Structure 1
Amino acid sequence: MRGVIEGFVTIVSVIGLGALLAQLRVLDLTAQGMLSRLAFFVASPALLLTVLAGTDVSQVFSRNLAASAIAVVVVVVVYVAAAALLLHRDLAHTVVGALSTGYVNAGNLGLPIAAYVLGDVALVAPTLLFQLLLFQPVALAALDHATSPGRTSLRRVLGQPFRTPLTVASLIGLAFAVTGAPMPRIVHDPLALVGGMAVPAMLLAYGVSLRLGPKPGADVDTAELGLIVGLKLLMMPLVAWAAGQALGLEGTALLAVTVLAALPTAQNIFVHANRYSRGVVLARDAIFATTVLAIPAMFVITALLA
């Protein structure tokens, strides 16, 4: 338990440093955007590629993947049912709400949590791959259909995952893992060096975002926002834990699938909402609310399961 607490202290300290640097105007939203882009397009792909290349492939395509997928499907189904039967939302708004409910911030916050709390970056790979290869393409296809009926391209849907650096890097890393081919040091060492920037860059950007980013407004349905936050931070970890137990997970594996299910809504959902001009305020406020509450929720989960 001491190691877990130290891991959270490390993460919170760097997030706090980001917030302090924003308060002192050393970093601003422009710097936050730069750090986020650097982490997303360069450092995180490098980190995942090198980590997955040396990972047992059975750890990726595992019961963790199944438990994570079950948790996502359950909360998304509950939200979609509520959106259709109680809230009477249209398809595009419902898709944004579903993404806000089930699509976790596995890239920006999941990697640090896996590294410093769970002790293994590879533990976040099943969640990342499920989201990038299945959940996001299906959701974007539904948004395409809802906002431009009849013009959805199968080629665009199938190609969507491969336009994401994290997906491409993960697949390359998995290729090394599956084949057992060693990565030459002349390739591995520069990638590992660049990948070392990923976690601090993400956490600093996260701290700046908390200090300077958008705050919740009054233009959102508070009942719907409350539903999303409850599903995201309470029901999703509970379902992941129950599914993990049913699948025979225990110890670190069960802790990992439960903690990662309590990650906040991913920030790219706001980008998607803006792109399609649907559910923009809902996505923004869901990201903010779940981001503020996620670390306390994950700490409680870890204290109970570690």
Structure 2
Amino acid sequence: MNYAQLLFPDFALILLGYLLCRFSPLNRPIWQGAEALVYYLLFPVLLFHSIVKSPLDWAATSSLIAAGVTSGLVGIALAYSLPWWPGLRHHISTRDHAGAAQVAFRFNSFIGLALADRLAGAQGLLFISVLIGFCVPMFNIAAVWPMTREGQHSFWGQLIRNPLIVATVCGLCANLLGFRMPTWLEPPVARIGAASIALGLMSAGAGMQLGLLTHAKRLSVGVLGIRHLLQPLIALGAIHVFGLQGEQALVLLLFSALPTASTCYVLAARMGYNGPYVAGLVTLSTILGVLSLPYALSLTSLLPTP
């Protein structure tokens, strides 16, 4: 399968967002509003709907959840340990590391949902929604923790105001309680979901910045190396350990190689860290996703056979 060709439509939307923001009257302030709309309304609705529209088979997805959480915890541990790596010790600012560590393990959910739908349809959407449901709270806690330790911020306050955490927790609770969306509400909610994917991808492109990537080069190589080179290999190991097969293994590999979350720079800037530098990392991560996603998906040749 030509994964690069399959991924092209979604990266074309990212490129379109970048070009519109830089070379048309639809400049950055407009895209900031669009990004807020996606982040606070459209995307939480999509997450909630993806989780509640099908009953979760916890027995069938437990191995996927365990593999995703394990891979994520290994990524977090690697990101936290960067200041002690050979060649990086004494060359990384503690404050820069606190703001940038999140880039190594957070992921762009907009791109993930779009690609899961393209690669595996409704089943892929369900699987990646389950991963998002469990990993978004864990990754947000891991992202906020170093910055709250370095600065004067409320750790729990940052978490309970995160709309992605609220949406995923509500979706999982509603699914457990047997909630099903009324038939008459399905069409508008589905359209909101479709709008969130397209607008989210274009917003990711509009937010790309490369200006400050010369700052903290070793830290940049470290966090991006974990995100795009090591995480797919960690996911492959987890697939073998937990015995994942078929679409679950495919979705976990896809999940492991996603570009980092476009909101990394928003969180860093809001908490008083070097937002423009983190924005540069987000931009380069989005570009590297063009290479890391086909690389990760090519690892399907190493998956265990049924």
After TM superposition, the score normalised by the length of structure 1 is: 0.84
Distance in 2 separating the partners of 1:21 and 1:284: 18
Alignment match of 1:127 (pick from 128, 131, 134): 131
Separation in 2, partners of 1:105, 1:260 = 9
The answer to whether the 8 A contact 2:133-2:172 is kept is: no
Which of these residues, 271, 275, 283, is aligned with residue 278 of structure 2? 283
CA contact (8 A) 1:255 1:302 kept: yes
Would you say 1:238 and 2:269 are equivalent positions?
A: no
SS at match of 2:295: helix
Kindly indicate whether the alpha-carbon contact (under 8 Å) linking 2:103 and 2:264 is maintained by their aligned counterparts in 1.
yes
Equivalent-residue separation in structure 2 for 1:262 and 1:64 (angstroms): 16
- Map 1:1-306 → 2, pairs under 5 A: 1=1, 7-22=6-21, 24-58=23-57, 62-84=62-84, 86-88=88-90, 89=92, 92-106=95-109, 108-119=110-121, 120-148=124-152, 157=156, 160-209=158-207, 213-217=208-212, 219-305=214-300
Superposition RMSD on alpha carbons, in Å?
2.7
Q: For the residues of structure 2 that align with 1:61 and 1:95, how far apart are their CA atoms?
A: 33
Sort the Cα spacing of 1:282 and 1:79 in 2 relative to 1 into closer, same or farther, 3 A.
Answer: farther
CA contact 2:212–2:277 (8 Å) conserved in 1: no
SS at match of 2:57: helix
Q: What's the offset of the Cα at 1:8?
A: 1.5
Shift of 1:6: 5.7
Percent identity of equivalent pairs: 22
- In structure 2, the CA distance between the partners of 1:13 and 1:143, relative to structure 1 (3 Å rule), is closer
Relative distance call for 1:21 and 1:98 in structure 2 (3 A) is closer
Amino acid at match of 1:36: E
- Match of 1:75, SS state, is helix
Residues paired across the two proteins, number: 295
1:177 to partner: Cα distance: 2.1
Q: Which runs of 5+ in 1 are unaligned?
A: none
Call closer, same or farther: CA 1:250–1:278 in 2, change over 3 Å: same
Q: Is 2:71–2:238's contact at 8 Å kept on the other side of the alignment?
A: yes
